[in-house]
Amino acid sequence: MSYKPVPTSDGYVTDRTQSWPSFICCSILTILVFLLVVITFPITGWFVVKSVPQYERIVVFRFGRIVSTKGPGFILLLPFIDQWQKVDVRTKAFVIAPFEATIKDGALIFIGAEVHYHILIPVISVVAVQDINSTLIDTVHHVMMNYLPRKTLVTIQVDKSKTEAQLAFEINEKTKDWGLEVERVNLILHRVLKPTEELLRESEAVLRSSRRDKLTVPLRKLAMHILKKSSSGSARSPLSSAQSSAQSSESEASVQILSDEAEPEEVESILINPDWVLSKVKVLLSEELVKQIGACYLFNVSQRNGTHNLYYLDLTKDSGKAGYGIPDIDPDVTLEVTAETMQALFSGNLKPLSAYMSGRIRIHGDLKIAMKLEELIKKLHQ
C-alpha cells in the first residue's frame, strides 16, 4: 500500500509512504496508546498535554516519521510513540570573527560581520541540517570569502547597504533548502591593513603638493629646483665642475636665506591649524548647515609633541555650535587624526574618503555621516 503525502500546516509535504503491514501495525499501536491515554486521562494528562509558547514550534515524529509541526498553544502528544523537537522561530544573530581578505582593487582589509536570521520552515530546519547554527556560520564565512574579492574598497564603504543586501541574497541562495532565512548582514570593517596603491600615490602626491604650496618663496624655489634635478636623473648630461660649484654656492646661499625663515611644518601649522579651523567653522554655523549635515562630530587631534586635543562640532539643533572638549550629547562620529592630516583636510587638498582609506583617519561611527564633512570643507573655501 502507498500512503498519500500529507501537507503540514507550514506548507511542507511529509513523506508518508508506507507498506500495508507497516501501516496496519502503526495504526493499531496508535489506537491502543490513544485508548490508554483516554482511560487514564486524569493521570496521563500531565504528560501528554504540552504548552507551546508563541515563539516556538514543535516538530512531532511518530514511529520515526514526521507527523506535523504543532504550536503555539496546547498540543497533545501520545506517550511511547511520539518524539518531538522544539524549534525557536525568533530572530537570532551571530558574529563572524574578523578575518583578512584581499579585495578586487588589491586592498587588504580586516573585516567581520553580524548576521541575523530566523527559522522559516521548522520541519525542514530539523530534517535538513544536524547543527544549523555551526553550519550556517561556516557557510556565511565561505560566501563572504568568495564575495568580497569581487568588490572594491570604495564599493564596500560607500554602498555598504547595497553590498550587505547582495551578500544576504547570496547566503540565502545557499541556505534556501534549510528552512531558514537570513534577514540582514551587517559588515564590520575593523581596519584597512593595506590600502590600494592608487590611493597611496594620490595621498602622497596631494600631501607633497599641499606642503609645497604653503612654503615661502625662497623655500618653494629651492624645493622646485631639487625636484627638477631629481626628476632629470641620469637623462641629463653631466655638469661641468664650474657649473656644479656655481649651483652649490647658489644652494648654500638659498639655505642661508632660509635659516631665518620658519620650517615648512611650522609654516603649515601657522597657516592652518585646529584653532584656525575652529574659528572659521564658528563663522559658518547656521540652521541651513544643521539641516544639511545633522550630526555631531568629535575630533581627537594628536599633536607633534604627543599631546591630544579634543574639538567638537555639534550640528544637530538650532544653528549648531563648535568648541573645545566633549560635546553635550554623544557624538555620532569620532575622528582620530593628526594635526598634519587635519591641515590637509581643511585646506581642501585631501578628501575625507581618501584619507580614511589610506589609514590617515580612524573613524568610529557611521562612515557616511563622516563623509558629510566634505560639504563643510567646501563651504570653508567658498
> Could you count the other beta carbons within 10 Å of the beta carbon of residue 134?
11
Q: What does 24-86 look like in DSSP terms, one character per residue?
A: HHHHHHHHHHHHHHHHTHHHHHHHHEEEE-TTEEEEEEETTEEEEEE-SEEEE--TTTEEEEE
Here the cell at position 305 is: 609633541
Residue 197, pLDDT score: 61
Task: State how beta strands 296-302 and 13-14 pair.
Answer: unpaired
Confirm if 26 and 63 have CB atoms less than 8 A apart. Answer: yes
* CA pair distance 208, 248, nearest whole angstrom: 24
* CA pair distance 248, 79, nearest whole angstrom: 103
Q: Return the C-alpha torsion angle 316, 318, 324, 326, nearest 10.
A: -40
* CA pair distance 112, 343, nearest whole angstrom: 32
Selection from 203, 210, 217, 222 nearest residue 269 by Cα: 210
The yes-or-no answer to whether 92-194 and 269-380 have a common fold is: no
Residue 341, pLDDT score: 84
Cis peptide before 72 (omega within 30 of 0): yes
Selection from 212, 111, 113 nearest residue 167 by Cα: 113
Sheet containing 180-194, strands listed edge to edge, beginning at the edge strand earlier in sequence: 92-102, 108-119, 180-194
Residue 138, pLDDT score: 93
Residue 269, pLDDT score: 43
Q: In sequence order, which ranges of the chain are alpha helices (DSSP H)?
A: 20-39, 41-48, 122-128, 132-147, 153-158, 160-175, 197-213, 217-232, 241-258, 264-271, 274-284, 287-293, 339-346, 352-357, 367-371, 373-380
Which residue matches cell numbers 618663496?
A: 217
* CA pair distance 302, 104, nearest whole angstrom: 33
Residue 143, pLDDT score: 94
Phi-psi region of 339 (alpha: psi -120 to 50; beta: other; left: phi over 0): alpha
Residue 172, pLDDT score: 94
Residue 16, pLDDT score: 54
Confirm if 342 and 277 have CB atoms less than 8 A apart. Answer: yes
DSSP state of 176: G
Confirm if 78 and 30 have CB atoms less than 8 A apart. Answer: yes
What is the fold, at CATH topology level, of the domain defined by 92-194? Tetrahydropterin Synthase; Chain A (3.30.479)
We find that the CATH architecture of domain 269-380 is 2-Layer Sandwich (3.30)
CA 54: distance to chain centroid?
33
Enumerate the domain spans of the chain: 6-86, 92-194, 197-229+246-267, 269-380
Residue 243, pLDDT score: 45
Confirm if 203 and 354 have CB atoms less than 8 A apart. Answer: yes
Overall pTM > 0.75? no
Residue by residue, pLDDT tens for the chain (382 residues) are 333 444 444 445 455 566 777 778 878 888 888 888 888 887 777 778 888 999 999 999 988 888 888 889 888 888 888 889 999 999 999 999 889 999 888 888 889 999 999 999 999 999 888 888 889 999 999 999 999 999 888 888 778 889 999 999 999 999 989 999 999 999 988 887 777 665 555 545 544 554 445 444 444 444 455 445 444 544 444 444 444 444 444 444 443 433 344 444 444 444 456 777 777 788 788 888 888 888 899 888 887 777 777 888 888 888 888 887 778 888 888 888 888 888 788 777 788 888 887 888 888 888 888 888 888 888 777 6
Residue 273, pLDDT score: 64
